[in-house]
Every structure is written in C-alpha cells, then in structure tokens.
Structure 1
Amino acid sequence: MGSQRTYGGISAEARRAQRRTALLDAALEIVGTLGLAKLTVSGLTAQAGLNERYYYESFDSRDAVLTALLDRIAEELAAAIVEALRTAPPDTRGTANAAVAAGIHLLTDDPRKARVALIAGMATPELRARTNQTVRVFARMVAAEGSDFYGLGDREPDPAIDFRATYLVGGLVQTLTAWLQDDLPMTRDELIEHTTDIFVLLGEDFAARMRDK
C-alpha cells in the first residue's frame, strides 16, 4: 500500500496538490496575459504541462478554476497586509501607508494578479458574488484593524465602522481598476499616497467622533 501512496518520496496527496498548483499557475498566466477567453481545458493543461485528466482531478468548471485562483490571490493579499502591519510605523499615516502599499504592490508587482482579481473576478455572476464576498472579508479586516488601532475594540459595535471600511475597500477596488485601465493618470506611488490620505481622513474623523461621544 505504501508504494501506491508515495512516488519518489512524495505522497499522492502532495502530488495532487502540486498538480493543482501548476494548473492555478497556468490559469494566472493565461488569464493575466491573454485574457479570460483563452482559458480552456486544453490550453490550461498544455500551459501546465499536464494531461487533461488531471484537470478534472481538481476542477469541474472554468469558474471553479477562477474561484480557486481568486481565493489564492486574496490569501496572498491578506498575508502581505498582515505582515506590513506587523512592522509598520506606529503613527496613523505610517500604519495606513504600510497596509495600502503592501496591498497595491502585491497586486501590481505582478500585473497578472491585478487583472485576474479586478477584471476576471467580475466576469460571471458567480465570480462577482465571490469578489463581493472577498471585499466584505477585507472590509471586516480593515474595521478590526482600525478599531484596534484607535482603541475602540471595547465599545459596542457601531455600523458606521463597517460602513466606512466597506466604503474604503470597495472604493479602492474601483479606483485600482480604473488605474489599471489607464483612466487615472498618476503613478503608482501617487495612487498609494492618495489612497493613504483617504484611509487616514476617514479613520481619524471616525475616531474623533467616537471620542466625543
């Protein structure tokens, strides 16, 4: 039985995970450089260097591939932001700038990721729903980090926190999409600085309102 479970010292589960990763890497390359229309089973497996039967080992549709790819990018994005916050300067602007810069750099250092996350993520109703769910996850992350930073964690939950966090994340998604499509004539550094301004403005304003209550 052991020989059936391992090959070359690698378990069957590990080999399956490697093939899935190879397929997602191939999907990132195809969608990020050629566009969504070029994402086919034959094209995907050829790019990954795998037999087509291995596609069906992990996925049952193109939307399943894209959903998994979107989830992987979201996980990378969350990890980058958490790490940036861990080493960020303690002041308001330094903290906001570190998080904003980490997120924008993650999506634009490899432009394929931004194209998948912000453009392909809106291709079908199912993918739009997944994107909206991801926006909500990051909005909750912003709300939690902001509440901790301003010392508001012990207060009663305030819907205004979620409103502002959702506004910030949703607005950033739309702004970054426009920037990627060359509709906003500014550099990436300028985009980061302007985004930081908005995060600081809304965060400081809300904290002041809560202190005055």
Structure 2
Amino acid sequence: MAPAQRSPTPPASASAAPKRAYGGVSADERRAQRRRALLDAALELIGTEGLGKLTVSGLCAQAGLNERYYYENFDSRDAVLTGLIDRITEELAIAIADGLRTAPPDTRGMARSAISAGIRLFTDDPRKARVALVAGQATPELRARTTESIRLFARIVAAQGIDFYGMTDRQPDPVIEFRATYLVGGLVQTLTAWLQGELPISRDELIEHTTDVFVLLGEDLARRLA
C-alpha cells in the first residue's frame, strides 16, 4: 500500500505572523508611541486653542501622523478626550504618591506635600487644567468620568487619613468618606476659581489655605472618632 501523502502545511496568516521590530522597537511599542503622540497633540490643541480645534485632521497634523494612525487608536473624539483625561488622572495620582513619600511625618507636612503636588501639576502646565476643566465637562459620559476621578481621589484621602490616625482596626465610618469627598470636591471648585482669576491670592497662599482646611477637618474628625 502506498504511504498516505501529507497535505501541504497552509502558510501562516498575516495576523498570526510575528510582528516585526524596527530599530529594536516592536510593533506594539510603536503603536503606543503613536498613541502618546496623539494624546500630546490633543493636550496642546485643547490647552492652547480650545476644544473646537480637536478634529481628526487637526490632531493628526499636530502629531505629525497619518490619519490612519488616529483610527488605529481611537474611534471618536470622546475616546481621545477620555484617554487624555485618564492620563492626566494617572499623572496626578503618581504626583500625589511621590509627594507623600517625601513628606514630613506629621499631619500638616503630609497634607501640604500631597496638596502641593496636585496643585503644581495643574499650574506648572496650565494646559492640563484647561483639559480637566473644559474637556471633562464636554459630554455626560466625560462628566461621569470626571466625577469618578473625584471619587477616586476622595478614597485616597480617606485611606490616608485612616492610616495616619490609626483607625485601620475599626469599622469604616461613612463620615470619613463624606469629609474626604467634601474636601476633594471643594478643592476642585477652589482651584477652578483660582485658575480663572476669581481668587486674588498667590499659588503658595492657595496651597497653604487648602492645607489649613484639610488639616482642620482631618484632625477634628480624628478627635470625634477617637
């Protein structure tokens, strides 16, 4: 009996083929670089010229990329705005964490370091503040995302307070989350007013006054729950 003939092995599909690296940079890394370039361009356009300038052609021209790379990363303008807001939120969380790591180990020192890190992120690069204030309110979905970011930072404040005042072994008290949300929400509104020139104080004064409020409410709450 003649041996059975093997069917020829089908060629690997283009999607299954390994992605080539150019200059030591993988395809995934190149895509991530293009995404960063598009978000950098969005930050520049919104931060300097306003949300109305954020078009596909304008964004790609600012980034120096072909429009096909826009569609490789985003399917709408809202997706660009969401990606940019998420990036700024991440930068803010990292800045605050870095501030806390190097803060003096006392209530005021920790509060001031965290508050200063957050305020300086937005005031050192006012484009980020404009994105957060303008783009973050552009649609109901983005407003919801901004609200969730405020809740995230309120949880960070609450967790820091619980740890600092040694309340980790007790049942969570809703008033802790209430005060943390009140503080973070109030800071957002105050920073907005200051950036719009409605509060005639210096940045250092803004940081000091904000620190006063955080320490006052934090220490008062620690005494109440002791």
TM-score interval, normalised by the smaller of the two chains: over 0.9
Rounded to whole Å, the distance in 1 between the matches of 2:92 and 2:168 is: 24
Does the CA contact (< 8 Å) of 1:121 and 1:127 recur in 2? yes
Any idea what the Cα deviations from partners look like across 1:135-178, whole Å, max 9, x if unmatched? Answer: 00110000001110111111101100000000011111111111
Unaligned runs of 5+ in 1: none
Residue number among 119, 123, 126 corresponding to 2:134 in the alignment: 119
Does the CA contact (< 8 Å) of 1:118 and 1:173 recur in 2? no
> Is residue 183 from structure 1 mapped to residue 198 from structure 2 by the alignment?
yes
> Is residue 152 from structure 1 mapped to residue 167 from structure 2 by the alignment?
yes
> Is residue 131 from structure 1 mapped to residue 146 from structure 2 by the alignment?
yes
- The Cα of 1:69 is off from its aligned counterpart by 0.4
- The Cα of 1:91 is off from its aligned counterpart by 1.2
1:78 — aligned with what? 93
Higher-Rg structure is: 2
The aligned length equals: 210
Does the CA contact (< 8 Å) of 1:164 and 1:202 recur in 2? yes
Any idea what the Cα deviations from partners look like across 1:77-135, whole Å, max 9, x if unmatched? Answer: 00010111011001111110000000000111011011111232111111100000100
Give, as a single letter, the amino acid of the residue that structure 2 aligns with 1:204: E
Residue number among 42, 66, 71 corresponding to 2:57 in the alignment: 42
Residue number among 180, 199, 205 corresponding to 1:165 in the alignment: 180
> Is residue 12 from structure 1 mapped to residue 27 from structure 2 by the alignment?
yes
Does the CA contact (< 8 Å) of 2:47 and 2:131 recur in 1? yes
- The Cα of 1:5 is off from its aligned counterpart by 2.1
Query: 1:10 is paired with a residue of what secondary structure?
Result: coil
Rounded to whole Å, the distance in 2 between the matches of 1:205 and 1:188 is: 26
Query: 1:7 is paired with a residue of what secondary structure?
Result: coil
Query: 1:119 is paired with a residue of what secondary structure?
Result: helix
Residue number among 80, 84, 89 corresponding to 1:65 in the alignment: 80
Rounded to whole Å, the distance in 1 between the matches of 2:109 and 2:209 is: 13
More helix by share: 1
Give, as a single letter, the amino acid of the residue that structure 2 aligns with 1:125: P
| Percent identity for Structure 1 against Structure 2 | 75
Does the CA contact (< 8 Å) of 2:82 and 2:142 recur in 1? yes
Give, as a single letter, the amino acid of the residue that structure 1 aligns with 2:71: Y
Give, as a single letter, the amino acid of the residue that structure 1 aligns with 2:204: D
